[in-house]
Amino acid sequence: MARRVGWTEAALEDLSATAEYIARDSARYAGGFVREAFDASDTLTEFARVLALW
């Protein structure tokens, strides 16, 4: 069974607001923060798949 991590509208709004705040000082770090958040959610999906194999 495929597992998926979904983002709620509220979570995406919070992520966007946080990125905007970080971007006040550095657009580069803001973009990196967003990428890391999405990468982390991908990791959760992979972790759930591995656990299912146990």
Comparison of pLDDT for 31 and 47, the residue scoring more: 31
Distance, in Å, from the CA atom of 46 to the CA atom of 5, rounded to the nearest integer, reads: 10
**In the chain, pLDDT over 90 holds for what percent of residues?**
61
* pLDDT exceeds 90 at position 1: no
Reading the block at residue 39, the tokens are: 């990468």
Residues 6+ apart with CB under 8 A from 27: none
Distance, in Å, from the CA atom of 20 to the CA atom of 46, rounded to the nearest integer, reads: 29
Q: Is residue 3 part of a domain?
A: no
Q: Is residue 4 part of a domain?
A: no
Distance, in Å, from the CA atom of 32 to the CA atom of 21, rounded to the nearest integer, reads: 13
Q: Is residue 1 part of a domain?
A: no
pTM, two decimals, is 0.76
Reported as a pLDDT band with limits 50, 70 and 90, residue 5 is: confident
Domain that holds residue 37: 9-53
Work out the average pLDDT over 9-37.
98
